[in-house]
């Protein structure tokens, strides 16, 4: 066990850590753990830990002790989910992703395979048809899937984080049994209807309204850029129930596709993620029972924000997938492409690009996994999700740009997926809150 002096030297005293929780033998501590590379006298051989370190600390909640493992390797279960996603991608995505993109076609067959593999409700409890895994496993899978197809990645991310998870957290038992089960099993698609033509970043300025008439609400409004909408049968719809209360007057409803008055409007022709579907959805006096409300009247804004706190982590994972696919392609190409009598990988300019890409991807992934882990232990993760999305999105854009540059003319042609990565990466800086909104969220937390 560590002495109090030693803990002080490590700079972790006063952070709520219990000395008895320092469970690692000193010989297994990494050099990097010692501030300024200070090495204790009794340490004769350099430590070679398999894992960085594992320390149990207090959560900070009074009297409650919970293990927060600071461990950078996935658990056996997380690794299994990741491997399953990778196998799915190799078999069902990589051979066809370019074709899906070029034909603007959603890959329904691949979705069915995804459902068969149990990957359409990864963090949803088994009781409701899901995989019963943690959020870290889920983001590992979203990254793998997005490496093959960012379009399929976002379809899964919106379906899971923006629809299934809010249903799990805010739904009553009846709503969960009725809506969540088919969603988690991938038999139905979910869609999140928040954005409007005049209300993008400024959610509270929405015009859609829901008026109580007896025991029903009448929903009227128009939602824009709604991912998955043409595929979905379950919509989470946000509408004003009391305009005088501003954002506190927004409520959330579960609306079914076949309710009279639900119409799919324009299907958008997008720059990237072309095989995912986004459309306008019109709610033309849609009559929904009062019990279709998710949570209570006026909870809508917070439900949307909490859903987005999770959604942003999944978009960060999607961005990591695009960035990793770009880096993999860049490494492979630069080792085989010969110019001036040697592989272009021998050029320092390229080596630096590859080193920078790899370093940024690693950092983006760590931020993403940290935000996912905080979600798993049930703590608020608004800032961490925003940081992960902000950093991972710019990493994806930059990695795709560098990888395309390394490929030169070949990268610009549609024969290779580089231009697809480049187009796909851009949206990660826009949807589920632009990078400017992420900076606002982060600074709101800090100031």
Catalytic residue positions, numbered: 432
According to the binding rule CB under 6 A, does residue 305 interact with ligand CAA? Answer: yes
∠ CA 282-288-291, rounded to 5°: 135
* Contact set for ligand CAA, span 119-158 (CB under 6 A): 158
- Which pair of structure tokens corresponds to residue 377? 């232990």
Note whether 301 and 204 are within 8 A (CB). yes
According to the binding rule CB under 6 A, does residue 204 interact with ligand CAA? Answer: yes
Of 161 and 292, which CB lies nearer to ligand CAA in the complex structure?
A: 161
∠ CA 190-194-195, rounded to 5°: 120
Choose among 369, 317, 361: nearest CA to 150: 317
Cα 260 to Cα 221, 230, 263, 285, distances in angstroms: 14, 16, 8, 8
Number of residues that bind ligand CAA (CB under 6 A): 24
Question: Please, what is the minimum distance in Å from the beta carbon of residue 148 to ligand CAA?
Answer: 19
According to the binding rule CB under 6 A, does residue 231 interact with ligand CAA? Answer: no
Q: Among 23-31, 96-104, 192-200, 364-372, which window interacts with ligand CAA (CB under 6 A)?
A: 192-200
**Where is 129: in which H helix or E strand?**
none
| Binding residue for ligand CAA, selected from 53, 100, 106, 192, defined by CB under 6 A | 192
Instruction: Say how far residue 223 (Cα) sits from the centre of its chain.
Output: 22
According to the binding rule CB under 6 A, does residue 250 interact with ligand CAA? Answer: no
According to the binding rule CB under 6 A, does residue 253 interact with ligand CAA? Answer: no
CA dist 418 and 329 (Å) reads 8
- Helix ranges (H only) for 193-296 are none
Q: Map residues 338-377 to x or -, x wherever contact with ligand CAA holds by CB under 6 A.
A: ----------------------------------------
Question: Please, what is the minimum distance in Å from the beta carbon of residue 321 to ligand CAA?
Answer: 15
Pairing type for strands 190-193 and 338-339 reads: unpaired
According to the binding rule CB under 6 A, does residue 224 interact with ligand CAA? Answer: no
Q: Map residues 389-418 to x or -, x wherever contact with ligand CAA holds by CB under 6 A.
A: ------------------------------
CA dist 445 and 439 (Å) reads 10
Instruction: Say how far residue 179 (Cα) sits from the centre of its chain.
Output: 22
| Binding residue for ligand CAA, selected from 96, 105, 216, 302, defined by CB under 6 A | 302
By CB under 6 A, name the binding residues for ligand CAA. Answer: 158, 192, 194-195, 201, 203-204, 225, 227, 247-248, 301-302, 305-306, 308-309, 382, 431-433, 437, 440-441
């Amino acid at each position: 066990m560590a002495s109090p002096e030693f803990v002080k030297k490590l700079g972790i005293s006063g952070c709520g850590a219990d000395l008895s929780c320092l469970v690692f033998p000193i010989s297994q501590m990494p050099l990097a753990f010692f501030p300024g590379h200070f090495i204790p006298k009794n340490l004769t051989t350099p430590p070679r830990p398999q894992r960085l370190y594992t320390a149990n600390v207090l959560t900070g909640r009074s009297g409650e002790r919970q293990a927060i493992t600071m461990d950078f390797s996935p658990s056996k279960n997380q690794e299994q989910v990741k491997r399953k996603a990778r196998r799915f991608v190799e078999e069902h995505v990589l051979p066809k992703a370019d074709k899906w993109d070029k034909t603007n076609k959603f890959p329904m067959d691949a979705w069915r395979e995804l459902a068969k593999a149990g990957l359409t409700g990864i963090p949803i409890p088994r009781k409701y048809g899901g995989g019963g895994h943690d959020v870290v496993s889920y983001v590992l899978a979203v990254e793998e899937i997005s490496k093959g197809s960012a379009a399929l990645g976002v379809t899964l991310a919106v379906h899971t984080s923006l629809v299934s998870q809010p249903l799990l957290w805010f739904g009553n038992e009846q709503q969960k049994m009725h809506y969540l089960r088919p969603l988690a099993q991938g038999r139905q698609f979910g869609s999140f209807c928040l954005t409007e033509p005049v209300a993008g970043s400024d959610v509270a300025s929405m015009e859609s309204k829901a008026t109580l008439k007896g025991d029903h609400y009448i929903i009227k409004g128009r939602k824009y850029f709604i991912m998955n909408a043409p595929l979905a049968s379950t919509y989470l719809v946000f509408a004003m129930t009391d305009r005088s209360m501003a954002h506190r007057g927004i409520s959330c409803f579960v609306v079914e596709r076949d309710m009279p008055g639900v119409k799919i409007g324009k299907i958008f022709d997008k720059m990237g993620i072309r095989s995912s579907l986004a459309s306008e959805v019109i709610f033309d006096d849609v009559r929904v029972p009062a019990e279709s409300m998710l949570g209570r009247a006026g909870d809508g804004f917070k439900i949307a924000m909490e859903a987005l706190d999770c959604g942003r982590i999944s978009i960060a994972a999607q961005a990591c997938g695009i960035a990793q696919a770009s880096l993999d392609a860049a490494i492979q190409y630069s080792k085989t492409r010969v110019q001036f009598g040697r592989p272009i990988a021998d050029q320092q300019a390229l080596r630096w690009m590859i080193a920078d890409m790899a370093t940024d991807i690693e950092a983006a992934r760590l931020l993403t996994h940290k935000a996912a882990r905080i979600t798993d232990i049930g703590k608020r993760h608004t800032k961490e999700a925003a940081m992960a999305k902000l950093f991972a999105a710019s990493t994806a854009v930059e990695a795709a740009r560098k990888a395309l540059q390394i490929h030169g003319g070949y990268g610009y042609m549609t024969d290779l997926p580089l231009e697809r990565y480049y187009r796909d990466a851009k949206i990660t800086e826009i949807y589920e809150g632009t990078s400017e909104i992420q900076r606002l969220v982060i600074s709101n937390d800090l100031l």
